[in-house]
A and B are shown apart, each in its own frame.
Chain A
Amino acid sequence: MRLLFLSKALACMTVLGAALLPAAAGAQTTDRALQKKQMAEVVDTKKFKKAGPYTIGVAAGYMSNSWVVFCLQHIRYEASLHKDVKDVIVTDAAFNPSKQVADIEDLVAKNVSLIIYWPVDEKAIQPALEKAVAKGIPTVNAGGGFSYSAGTVSNAFIDQWALGEEGARHFVKDLGGKGKIFAMLPIAGTTAAVDQLAALKAVLKDHPNIELLSAEYGDWNRAKAKQISENLLQRYPKIDGVFSPAGQMSMGVAEAFEDAGRMKGLTMSPGDEYNGWMKWVVKNQKGGAVTFPTRAGQEATKLGLKILAGEPVPRGLVIPSEYIAPKDAAKFAEMNKPDDWWASKLPEQFKPK
């Protein structure tokens, strides 16, 4: 009798599964033209205007990687330059979207003047952000993705597509226009991963002699990137290049190739300005970087304070990425600082311990 129930339940589930397959979301493609239009929209911020002193609330989706730690330090630094900002409160959701929702609610309860955030999952926190906006608390997204929704007043972000594209162009040039490559991308499903891959593919359209063997997801994790690369090295006897815009993953990839003795003749794409990667570039004079500036935090704070002053701001402010050639890497690498570090113009007392 139990088995009957079990099989009925399984049958139900299969039917449901089949029914909702069409509803399954495919990979999102960013409509670049639409996004450019949305970014340029000017927000009327008069309803957010308030007088100081201000308390800035930072709802961090996660604090467990060095990029966001630096981003936060940039926020603190900018806050310190304005005498009407009296406090910065930080909450950490540790990759738990329910917690980020709760954190935002708690910040609202504390009557912060402004909320700067980077999401675990953009959609999951929209309802909570909308409630904040409804209460007159402006919200600014700091980081890697552009959000055009009611819950986000403005964005200070890095254009992942442009980053991917610039990196891909230099990469293709260094490759000489032909060869077999694979892509090492961050966490699957994030704007970064989706846009970087889309940009790479767009650039590859003009170069039919380059074959993309595989797209892998290393989750911004050096050890994981290394493990995946080791397996790819086994699977594919010939690999000419690796597209890896995230420097910490590039390090793992490079190590795997070095270990396997297949470093010679390998072209690495530019990574980002992750310190460990910059040190590697200085040493090996390959690859270079397209920056992923942590000062997004600073720009987000500036945007937020403008909103609080009632000044108009654009919906999206791009923090431009710059290309660093291998020969210039020495200017950016801090050889005596840990690998897990980012080049910045932060004054000494604001740098992480």
Chain B
Amino acid sequence: MAVAAAPVAAVQSLAHRAGIYGLLAVVLVAALLFVPGFASPTNLANVVTQSAALGLVAIGQTFVIAGGLIDLSVGQLLGLSVVLSCAISEGRSELLLPVLAAMVALGAAVGVAHGTLVNRFRIEPLILTFGTLSILQGAIFAYTDQSVGRPPAELVWLANGRLLGLPVAGLVLLGFAAFAHLLLRHSRFGLRLLATGGDADSARRAGVDVARVRLFAFVLSGLGATLAGLLVAGRLGTGYPNAGQGFELDAIVAAVLGGASLAGGRGTIAGTVAAVILLGVISNVLNLLEVSAFVQTFAKGLIVVTAIVATRARSGGGPFSARRLPAAGTAGRDAG
């Protein structure tokens, strides 16, 4: 039986490694063949443009999830970025670089704050970032309850334009993804991050500076949110305060569909991007097929559940395992 088990296990492993890519391929092919209007270049470019912002946020989220953490504040942080970038620049192109710098600083600062609070006070990331979500939301609305400002024309082009026929937003996503991929899977930081997410204790014993790794993961998550905010600002053409609502949950869904596990230790950028595109394609297809908006919500939920159940790793441990939600600190163990 052991002889037969090996190839079966290999196929199984391949099947669920193919998981999100296989699902995306199937859906794409089906859409190209059966959904009228899907295959038009304009529509395909639209799908990519519509998905780019979520892609950036989801990539940032992949880092924290891989590290065994989570960041619920990214949606409101994105909203803050949209409002600030529009309000500051008021359409003036000369402010593009300062605004870019400011948003990078904002994303990093929030990330540092999260990382510090998690490391120093051992606050559960889920509840911490839920708290900061509220704080950020309150801050945005304290500043304005209506749309303010305008983004510089460059951001509008970045979010909506075409370069050699390809959507620029898609190129931005690709660039960011490439950088993130190298960082996660081909750098020492990435290795340490995955180790920390998998088992923080072992990582610590192996000499990994767990606190610093976590901090950097939060910084990346914050950056993903604020940079995505620049794209959304370009897309909306105005600083709409509630622009970020819902991004955090969609980003988590995308990261998890893409292979990251909320218990930490796993995750790929390619998988996340594939999941983001999948979600964008599904939304687009449902619109093109004139599926009622109410049914779309139901369908999305069903798809998430089915995809998770179908692509879940079934390696070892049976249905139950000792690991559950991401935990900030190890029980009872004191560390730096």
A-side interface residues toward B, CB under 8 Å? Answer: 2-3, 5-6, 9-10, 12-13, 16, 19-20, 23-25, 28, 60, 63, 89-92, 94-99, 101-103, 105-107, 109-110, 120-127, 188-189
Contact = CB atoms under 8 A, between A and B. Distances in A.
Interface in B180-237: 215, 232, 235-237
Q: Please list the 9 inter-chain residue pairs (A to B) with the smallest Cβ-Cβ separation, ordered nearest first.
A: A92-B293, A9-B109, A189-B146, A123-B238, A124-B236, A189-B145, A106-B287, A188-B145, A102-B50
A19 B88 contact: yes
B326 to A, nearest CB: 22
B321 interface: no
B108 interface: yes
B148 A24 contact: yes
A99 B246 CA distance: 11
B135 interface: no
B293 A60 contact: yes
Contacts of A92: 293-294, 296
6 contacts: A5-B112, A9-B105, A24-B87, A109-B288, A123-B238, A124-B240
Contact of A16 (B53, B84, B235, B240): B84
A13 B287 contact: no
A123 B116 contact: no
A109 B88 contact: no
Contacts of A110: 37, 287-288
Nearest to B150: A123
B294 A63 contact: yes
B283 A102 contact: yes
B147 A121 contact: yes
B237 to A, nearest CB: 5
A121 B236 CA distance: 9
Interface string B143-180: 11111110000001000100000000000000000000
Interface of B: 37, 40, 42-43, 46, 50, 53, 84, 87-88, 90, 102, 105-106, 108-109, 112-113, 116, 143-149, 156, 160, 215, 232, 235-238, 240, 242-243, 245-246, 283-284, 287-288, 290, 292-294, 296-297
B156 to A, nearest CB: 7
Contacts of B90: 23
Given A20-B88, A24-B143, A63-B293, A106 B288 contact: yes
Nearest to A190: B146
A6 B144 CA distance: 25
A23 B99 CA distance: 14
Given A20-B84, A92-B293, A98 B102 contact: no
Residue from A25, A107, A124, A126 having most chain B Cβ neighbours under 10 A? A124
Nearest to B149: A23
A94 B250 CA distance: 14
A126 B150 CA distance: 12
B155 to A, nearest CB: 12
Given A123-B147, A189-B146, A101 B235 contact: yes
B50 A105 contact: yes
Contacts of A125: 236
A209 to B, nearest CB: 31
A336 B37 CA distance: 45
A98 B232 contact: yes
Given A6-B112, A6-B113, A24-B143, A127 B240 contact: no
A189 B146 CA distance: 5
Contacts of B84: 16, 20
B293 A97 contact: no
Contacts of A189: 144-146
B277 to A, nearest CB: 14
A90 B293 contact: yes
Contacts of B242: 95, 97, 121
A276 to B, nearest CB: 23
B169 to A, nearest CB: 12
B163 to A, nearest CB: 18
Contact of B290 (A10, A20, A89, A188): A89
A109 B113 CA distance: 43
B160 A127 contact: yes
Residue from B90, B235, B292 having most chain A Cβ neighbours under 10 A? B235
Contacts of B109: 6, 9-10, 12-13
Contacts of B116: 2-3, 6
Contact of B237 (A19, A103, A123): A123
B87 A96 contact: no
B293 A23 contact: no
Contacts of B144: 24-25, 189
A75 to B, nearest CB: 15
Contacts of B50: 98, 101-102, 105
Contacts of B108: 5, 9
Contacts of B143: 24
Given A89-B290, A188-B145, 7 more contacts: A2-B215, A12-B105, A24-B87, A91-B287, A96-B246, A98-B53, A106-B287
Contacts of B237: 123-124, 126-127
Residue from B109, B160, B283 having most chain A Cβ neighbours under 10 A? B109
Contact of A97 (B145, B146, B236): B236
A324 B283 CA distance: 44
A127 B233 CA distance: 12
Contacts of A95: 242, 245
